[in-house]
Each structure stands twice: as C-alpha cells, then as structure tokens.
Amino acid sequence: MPQIIFLPHGELCPDGAVIQAQSGQTVLDVALKNNISIPHACEKSCACTTCHIIVREGFDSLTESDELEDDMLDKAWGLEPESRLGCQAIIADEDLVVEIPKYNLNIVNEDH
C-alpha cells in the first residue's frame, strides 16, 4: 500500500503528514479524508487550479495528465514541471512526497 508524505504547509498541514493510500485514489481525496483541507473550488471537476500540488517524489508513478488538466495547470500560480491537480493525480503503487503550494490562484486574487 503506497503512502503519501505531505510536506509541512503553514495553514493546511503545519506538521506535515504520512498517510497510507490505496491505489486508484486521487491525492486530493486522500488528503481530504485525512483532514488536510486542500482547496477544491470546482468540487473536483478539473475546472480550476485550487487543488494544485507539486509531487516532489513519485511523480512518474501517477497516471498521466490529460489535455484538460494540462490546460488548467497552465493557469496555476507557481507552476513547476512536477505540478498536478490533486483531483486528477491518481495514485498507483509507489510512495509520493507532495508539497501543497503556499498560494493558489484564488488566494492570490483574494489578497489583492
């Protein structure tokens, strides 16, 4: 059973977390079931970027992103080569190390 290591995030997961996951689940669903409240404004329909995550380890084990996710990611704040939408990143059989960015597009817009 793979595990996800969530790196510390000041608001959502201050101490970080190590969570057992099942293959076939999304990173977002695992986080939410374990009280890590990653924003998901579009209710997991791949229509926003609020669940943007960066997969620091295990990126290649995830299912490949599709064109819709890639188009949405182009709008994400702080995009990196290992960026995914948590609602679309389906866990396979390898452990993951995940960083939740400090900001997302909604937070940046609300602050200004």
Over residues 4-51, the pLDDT tens digits come to 999 999 999 999 999 999 999 999 999 999 999 999 999 999 999 999
> What is the Cα–Cα distance from 49 to 87, expressed in whole angstroms?
10
Per the model's pLDDT, the better-predicted residue between 109 and 1 turns out to be 1
Rounded to an integer, the average pLDDT of 75-96 is 96
CA atoms within 13 A on the CB side of 60: 0
pLDDT-derived band at 103, boundaries 50, 70, 90: confident
Q: Is the Cβ–Cβ distance between 85 and 52 less than 8 Å?
A: yes
CA geometry: angle 6, 80, 75, nearest 5 deg: 105
**Backbone φ, ψ for residue 101 (5° rounding):** -55, 150
| Domains detected in the chain | 3-111 (3.10.20.30)
Can you give the pTM of this predicted structure?
Answer: 0.91
Tell me the pairing of strands 96-99 and 52-57. antiparallel
